[in-house]
Amino acid sequence: MILDNITTFLLKRRWHFYKMSNTFISFTPPEEFNLNDDFKLHIPREISKVDSENFIGNIIEIIADLYELTIDDLNVILKNENTVLKVRVYDNQTEDGRMPLTRFEELVEKIRLILADTASFVINKSVTSTRVPEEVSRYLNLCNFMQTEKGSFVAKIQLPSKELIKDSELFDRQEIFSEEINQKLGEVLTFVNNNIFEGDPHVTEEYLIENETRINIKLFKNIESFFSKARLKNIDFSFHNIENSNTIVNHNITPLKLYKLNQFVEQIESHSFEVGNFSFTGHIIALKSKDPDGIKNSVIFTGVYDNLPMVASANLDSEHYKDAIEAHKFKQNIIVTGLAKRTKSRARFIEITSFEMENQD
């Protein structure tokens, strides 16, 4: 397994297969390292020989040096098949790799809350939910703090990658594994940095529907608290696993940027956005399809919900699309039921459990 993981680690980072012999598989490095043309990394094909363990240890040392990881990092990645999250804080207080105890305690507590909120977000699948599912404790219990590093101050957490966190249930869509939570954390942190700190988002109902997989109010509030309470000016989050390495750089976190994040959260709250099961009745105003016999068909229909006008859209399979054409032809309302993202005046169905034409009396 360790040999397969080393091979995958290299190939996913653009190493090139060179040749295979009875005893070794050889790779050449990507150009970014500017190594000699004759540099090769030889991976043994089996570890049954007496000196293979030492040989693998040497390979891990070489990889660690090239990718600025520690041996401990690579053991977690390659042997445990988990993810290493590094949180690097750099400012005047952390230049020598130290941090005051009270500040460190604040940092650790806020990281725990962000991990918990991310797990809750993935399980609840809701922008507004504050419920903490029992499976969150399972995920947190599988996370481990690792030895810190110098280079300013670097806190490291071992995140589980392949653990089943939540079983599928009768009305649930799928099982949830720990890697989905890890990926969601990186996705949300990237969104906050690129779209809010460094961007100027105009929050509309359509914007919320388009970006709801990256937005959770409780998580955003704890991210803001993480930056402000731990007095973070510059911080990098880096994720390292077998498949890839990804770093999110947050530079010069000013009070204005935190204000923008707070304003963003307030705008979300004002739109009453939610995701859940929904049933809506309306008349069709648009049908779109390149091939009615295919699967890329859509309908836009409008009606009244809670005494307010609403516009809804849904992607339809071929059978439902042909029913929609029929309903439009005879000016019949349609009734669509399923999982939807919605605000006060807009809805988008992402899963359909029922499609009906309303009977005309």
pLDDT digits (tens, 9 = 90+) for 158-177: 999 999 999 876 555 578 99
Residue boundaries of the structural domains of the chain:
2-67, 83-270, 274-357
Q: Which of 300, 324, 314 is nearest to 351 (CA)?
A: 314
Q: Two tokens at 360?
A: 């005309």
The mean pLDDT of 299-317, rounded to a whole number, is 94
How far apart CA 92 and CA 284 sit, in angstroms, is 61
Identify the H or E element spanning 161: none
Helix ranges restricted to H, the chain: 2-12, 52-67, 71-74, 101-124, 135-141, 178-191, 205-211, 217-229, 255-270, 318-329
Q: What share of the chain is helix, strand, coil (3-state, %, to 5)?
A: 40, 30, 30
User: So what's the pLDDT on residue 204?
Assistant: 87
How far apart CA 300 and CA 343 sit, in angstroms, is 16
| Residue 50: pLDDT band with limits 50, 70, 90 | low
Whether 41 shows a pLDDT value over 90: the answer reads yes
How far apart CA 280 and CA 302 sit, in angstroms, is 9
Fold of 274-357: OB fold (Dihydrolipoamide Acetyltransferase, E2P) (2.40.50)
From the candidate CATH numbers 1.20.120, 3.30.920, 3.40.1130, 3.40.50, the one assigned to the domain spanning 2-67: 3.30.920
Q: Two tokens at 233?
A: 């000016």
Q: What is the DSSP string of 298-345?
A: EEEEEEEETTEEEEEEEEE-HHHHHHHHHHHHTT--EEEEEEEEE-SS
How far apart CA 266 and CA 217 sit, in angstroms, is 9
pLDDT digits (tens, 9 = 90+) for 68-114: 999 999 999 999 999 999 999 988 888 778 888 888 899 999 999 99
| Residue 49: pLDDT band with limits 50, 70, 90 | low
pLDDT digits (tens, 9 = 90+) for 202-212: 888 888 888 98
Q: The pTM is what? A: 0.82
**For the chain, what is the mean pLDDT?**
91
